[in-house]
Structure 1
Amino acid sequence: MEKMILNGEMKDRSEIRIDIEDRGYQFGDGVYEVIRIYNGLLFAGDMHIKRLFQSAELISISIPYTQEELMEQLKRLVKTNDLQSGIIYLQYTRGVSPRSHAFPFHQVEPVYVAYTKEMPAAKGEKAAVRAVTAEDIRWLRCNIKSLNLLGNILAKEEAVKAGCEEAIQHRGDIVTEGSSSNVFIAANGAIKTHPANNLILNGITRQVVLQLCGKLEIPVQEEAFTMEELLKADEVFYTSTGVEVTGISEVDGKIIGNGQTGPLTQKLQQAFCQEIERQCGRI
């Protein structure tokens, strides 16, 4: 029987009950993380947990564990479910309280859930995918990994309806990020990606890729770029826990480069696989 965590306790999925007045359910009042598992080990787990605590602090949710204690719970969940390749999803909500927009007047305990899901590990180079662009209609605190994802969902649905894998969001002429990813462009041997400010989520895979660029001596500019730069780029790729590092072959029907995964993207895909092997062993 698959196990989940509810408020620090390991339970069967059938035992999990969430109150109808949980503020995560009624307001999206909470934060979450998704951590990739390779060979039964958490990839970049410390970075994910650190970001979870940062997001929680920014919306005044107090997590009643240390980062080390939470990490040990997640490792135990992976081991209990015998998960070799997949993800952990975990979230904290502000807790259960009678419905009111303001924070509860009385002290409430946050509600914490975590579960695992199988997902095959990607190996080596992945085929490039198609994308569309979409106006970024989200709120102005995208650096918080909150449960409020309706704007992201609507953008992703635009991509799905167009037969594409991702929607690249923009505020006016400035590209921000994907609906569930970070976006990079490459031109003249250098890479550019939006700076990690309040307009994007500083993705963990994004951070790992930037570290790899440093090791590989690939020039990087963390600065905003335009829609025109996006469409004229030599290469476009996107990153996330789920897609890892994946090339984008076409945006809004415009072929990027030669319509295949570009050489810089391939180089980073290979380096990313090596980083997975360094942390978690060969996949």
Structure 2
Amino acid sequence: MSTDFSKGAAWMDGKITPVSEAKISVLDWGFTRSDCTYDVASVRNGAFFRLNDYLERFQQSLAKVRISVPQKTEEMRDIVHSIVGRSGLRDSYVAMVACRGVPLVPGTRDPRQCGNHFFAWCIPYVHVIKPEIAARGAHLFVPRDVRRIPPDSVDSTAKNYHWGDMTKGLFEALDAGFDTAMLLDHRGNVTEGPGFNVFSLKGNCVRTPDTGVLEGITRRTVLELCGELGLETEVRPVSLSEFMESDEVFTSSTGGGVAPVTRINERVFSNDAPGPATRRISETYLSWFDRPEHRQPVTYA
């Protein structure tokens, strides 16, 4: 009987298994302390999008959190290609993870005395904001009692699982009847939401926050294509009051690309429908998937 990889595949310790069979130790600091870093790339129509950029950022994250694994960039690239190829998924959400690992000295509190390790997995493509919600525009809630973890406590530019603030914000947003949350920092500036960056369009200028955020590859793509569309861009602190004066608002994420936002709290944007500039940006973003310089086709078994 052949193994079913249709729900995803994982690479751990040199072996590819169905994603449901991938496990880490209960003693792993990646589990007990959320002491890990990761990155997520996407596959659409059988090809990775900007995989080299995701791998480069992952290497930067590894250096920032001081995790060292034996796999180098080229091997990681081969691994993620192999698991997607084995899965048969033409559209996939692909994670690369490095954990601090199990203490090599039992009971140690020294992070240098752990066995760092790498693994990867892929599943069918995930939308952070579901397509039916993006079609009418997402409704975001700014939590009253939650602030983004300060970057001098947890470096937001190193992708991480420290989601205590995001999860608390999500509960508050969902309980209030909204789709998801957008967090502020302790100065009252906009940061990001659970799994996405945010953008404000005012006139001909697209703005996005510069601190307390992951410097997303999709975010980078949006900033690059805005120039192609003749839109100005600014990466800087954006207060909530300024953000609420936007003509249009949208999010960006590897999981789902560009998604319009039509409401934040009680404020309605672009007549409660996806705005024309956001639609144009989203369409251009999707077209970039077909550009040869951004595509790495997967070889399927």
Q: Same fold (TM over 0.5)?
A: yes
Q: Could you tell me which amino acid in structure 1 is paired with residue 147 of structure 2?
A: D
Say yes or no: does 1:174 pair with 2:189. Answer: yes
C-alpha distance in 2, partners of 1:225/1:12? 43
> Residue by residue, what CA displacement relative to the aligned partner does 1:94-136 show, whole Å, maximum 9, x if unpaired?
111135443144xx4322222211127869x843111111342
1:23 Cα shift? 0.9
Structure 2, unpaired ranges of 5+: 297-301
Structure having the larger proportion of residues in strand: 1
Task: Please name the residue that 2:266 is paired with.
Answer: 253
Please give the alpha-carbon distance, in whole angstroms, between the structure 1 residues aligned to 2:47 and 2:119. 19
Tell me what 1:28 maps to. Answer: 34
Q: Note the 1:85-96 alignment, pairs <5 A.
A: 85-96=91-102
Query: Structure 1, residues 67-115: CA drift from partner, whole Å, max 9, x if none?
Result: 122111101110111011121122110111135443144xx43222222
Letter in 2 for 1:221: E
Change beyond 3 A, Cα 1:46–1:280: closer
State the match for 1:133 in structure 2. Answer: 142
Letter in structure 1 aligned against 2:30: G
Q: Give 3-state SS (helix, strand or coil) of 1:33's partner.
A: strand
Matched, 1:10 2:16: yes
How far is the alpha carbon of 1:237 from its aligned partner?
0.6
Distance 1:120 1:277 in 2: 20
1:265 to 259, 262, 278: 278
Amino-acid identity (%): 24
Q: Structure 1 regions of 5+ residues with no counterpart?
A: none
Tell me the equivalent position of 1:185: 200
Matched, 1:144 2:132: no
TM-superposed CA distance for 1:161, in Å, is: 1.9
Cα pair distance change 1:27/1:256, threshold 3 Å: same
Amino acid corresponding to residue 20 of structure 1 in structure 2? V
For the residue of structure 1 that corresponds to 2:289, the secondary structure is: helix
CA contact (8 A) 1:188 1:234 kept: yes
- CA RMSD, Structure 1 to Structure 2 (Å): 2.2
Q: Residue 142 of structure 2: SS of its match in structure 1?
A: strand
Q: Distance in 2 between matches of 1:90 and 1:143?
A: 16
Distance 2:57 2:137 in 1: 29
- 5 Å-filtered alignment, 1:208-247, equals 208-247=221-260
Q: Deviations over 1:241-283 (max 9, x none)?
A: 11310111000021113111112111101100110122459xx
Q: Give yes or no for contact 1:245–1:268 (8 Å, CA) kept in 2.
A: yes
Mapped contact 1:206–1:240 kept (Cα < 8 A): yes
- CA 1:136–1:101: 2 relative to 1, 3 Å: farther
TM-score, structure 1 normalization: 0.90
